[in-house]
């Protein structure tokens, strides 16, 4: 249980002697585990990672399961009876998508998290991990951003509806801990890329949008590729399979009320990230910048000392992650998610 006065952004201190080889607080072996959103980039990475944990993965057998519908979610969980849940389902997108569909981003994400968290508590799920986002933090938060920066200032306007929904999800998990004693935890990933990403030409996130554009320019022999914004904002990027590994680590070894940041703790300008993608793809043209497009937050890099204190660090370098990303892109180019 948490104290009534504990703020939702309070960063937990690592337990004495915590390490990666410490005894498991919640072993997943033999458990029935459901990944909500298992067909998305994060969900599919979690399914790959959990395959080695000796647990039974519950499949979304019903193609029409709509997590925004309370009755459907309640019936599904009552029938499947998972012992552990990872809530990776969400409506996601880049700056353009957030600006174009603010009502959808707020409503859909509020409904998904409320229905899954409530139904999980109702059927007695033993452990739940809710995945938020680094966009929950204030636009002007001190960098690197600590967990206790939450609710200390205004949000970035370009993704405020999505951020508000994710903040509500954190508060919801903490409320169920406080009122019902549920072991529901939350993690805040940084910007992600990897297999299963969405490559919509306008609504995708930075890595997918740039990869698709740069690859197309290479194939066409185009002399330039346009990068949205000035290229100056600094961002942190995490390979999605590293996030999946961190999720399993937290599920088995963490049981606190406060959110935990998940990232590399390192950032770089968008211009440098685009240049790294050009090297990966083998594109030798010139990058140009469309400054009519918004930059978003000037800098966003997470303080990951809580997670490293618990004994976890990201293992995939940016260069290796981009190589794996591009190889997957080429292997699936005829059936990419858009």
Using a pLDDT cut of 70, give the percent of the chain over it.
91
pLDDT of 242 strictly over 60: yes
> Which residues does the annotation place in the binding site for NADP(+)?
37-43, 131-134, 166, 189-192, 205
pLDDT at 191: 95
> Which residues does the annotation place in the binding site for substrate?
213, 228, 235, 295
pLDDT at 97: 82
pLDDT at 193: 97
Where is average pLDDT lowest: 16-20, 41-45, 234-238?
16-20
pLDDT at 93: 80
pLDDT at 205: 83
Q: Residue 72, exposed/middle/buried by CB under 10 A (0-12, 13-18, 19+)?
A: middle
pLDDT at 18: 37
CA distance 276 to 267: 13
pLDDT at 336: 83
Residue 6 domain-assigned (yes or no): no
Sort strands 234-235 and 268-269 into parallel, antiparallel or unpaired: antiparallel
pLDDT at 200: 79
Angle formed by the axes of helices 102-122 and 160-180, to 10°?
Answer: 10
Residue 217 domain-assigned (yes or no): no
pLDDT at 94: 75
38 or 296, higher pLDDT:
38
- When the pLDDT of each residue in the chain is averaged and rounded to a whole number, the result is 91
pLDDT of 172 strictly over 60: yes
pLDDT at 11: 47
Residue 244 domain-assigned (yes or no): yes
CA distance 51 to 54: 7
**Residues carrying an active site annotation:** 162
Residue 99 domain-assigned (yes or no): yes
> Which residues does the annotation place in the binding site?
37-43, 131-134, 166, 189-192, 205, 213, 228, 235, 295
pLDDT at 14: 39
**pTM for this predicted structure:** 0.91
Residue 63 domain-assigned (yes or no): yes
Is the peptide bond preceding residue 144 cis, with omega within 30 degrees of 0?
A: yes
Mean pLDDT in residue range 79-96: 92
The structural domain count of the chain equals: 1
Mean pLDDT in residue range 314-319: 98
Residue 97 domain-assigned (yes or no): yes
Give 245's pLDDT tier (boundaries 50, 70, 90): very high
Residue 85 in 3-state DSSP?
Answer: strand
Give 338's pLDDT tier (boundaries 50, 70, 90): low
Q: How far is CA 99 from CA 103, 210, 246, 293, 320, in A?
A: 10, 19, 30, 12, 32
Which tens digits make up the pLDDT trace of 2-35? 334 454 565 444 333 333 444 568 999 999 999 9
**Which residues span the domain enclosing 70?**
32-193+238-266+301-316
Give 63's pLDDT tier (boundaries 50, 70, 90): low
CATH number for position 113: 3.40.50.720
Strand extents, DSSP E, the chain: 32-36, 56-58, 84-87, 127-131, 184-189, 191-193, 224-228, 234-235, 237-239, 260-262, 268-269, 286-290, 299-300
**Contact (CB, 8 A) for 272 and 235:** no
Where is average pLDDT lowest: 68-77, 131-140, 194-203, 248-257?
194-203
Mean pLDDT in residue range 166-182: 98
pLDDT at 296: 82
Residue 42 domain-assigned (yes or no): yes
Residue 324 domain-assigned (yes or no): no
Which tens digits make up the pLDDT trace of 101-147? 999 999 999 999 999 999 999 999 999 999 999 999 999 999 999 99
CA distance 186 to 173: 7
Which tens digits make up the pLDDT trace of 258-311? 999 999 999 999 999 999 999 999 999 999 999 999 888 889 999 999 999 999
């Amino acid at each position: 249980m948490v104290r009534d006065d504990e703020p939702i952004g309070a960063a937990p201190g690592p337990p004495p002697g915590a390490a990666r080889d410490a005894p498991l607080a919640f072993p997943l072996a033999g458990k029935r585990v459901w990944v909500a959103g298992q067909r998305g980039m994060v969900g599919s990475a979690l399914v790959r990672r959990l395959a080695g944990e000796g647990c039974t993965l519950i499949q979304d057998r019903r193609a029409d399961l709509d997590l925004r519908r309370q009755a459907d979610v309640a019936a599904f969980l009552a029938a499947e009876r998972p012992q552990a849940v990872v809530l990776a389902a969400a409506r996601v997108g880049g700056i353009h998508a957030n600006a174009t569909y603010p009502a959808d981003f707020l409503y859909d994400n509020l409904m998904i998290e409320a229905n899954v968290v409530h139904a999980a508590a109702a059927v007695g799920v033993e452990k739940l991990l809710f995945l938020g986002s680094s966009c929950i933090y204030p636009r002007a938060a001190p960098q690197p951003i600590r967990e206790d920066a939450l609710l200390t200032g205004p949000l970035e306007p370009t993704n405020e509806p999505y951020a508000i929904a994710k903040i509500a999800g954190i508060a919801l998990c903490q409320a169920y801990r406080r009122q019902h004693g549920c072991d529901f935890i939350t993690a805040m990933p940084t910007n992600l890329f990897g297999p299963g990403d969405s490559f919509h030409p306008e609504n995708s996130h930075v890595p997918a949008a740039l990869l698709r554009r740069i690859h197309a320019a290479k194939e066409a022999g185009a002399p330039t590729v346009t990068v949205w914004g000035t290229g100056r904002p600094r961002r942190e990027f995490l390979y999605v399979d590293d996030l999946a590994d961190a999720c399993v680590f937290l599920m088995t070894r963490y049981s606190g009320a406060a959110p935990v940041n998940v990232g590399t703790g390192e950032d770089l300008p968008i211009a440098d990230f685009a240049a790294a993608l050009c090297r990966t793809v083998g594109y030798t043209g010139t990058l140009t910048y469309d400054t009519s497009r918004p930059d978003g937050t000037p800098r966003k890099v997470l303080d990951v000392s809580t997670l490293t204190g618990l004994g976890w660090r990201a293992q995939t370098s940016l260069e290796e992650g981009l190589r794996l990303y591009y190889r997957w892109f080429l292997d699936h180019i005829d059936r990419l998610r858009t």
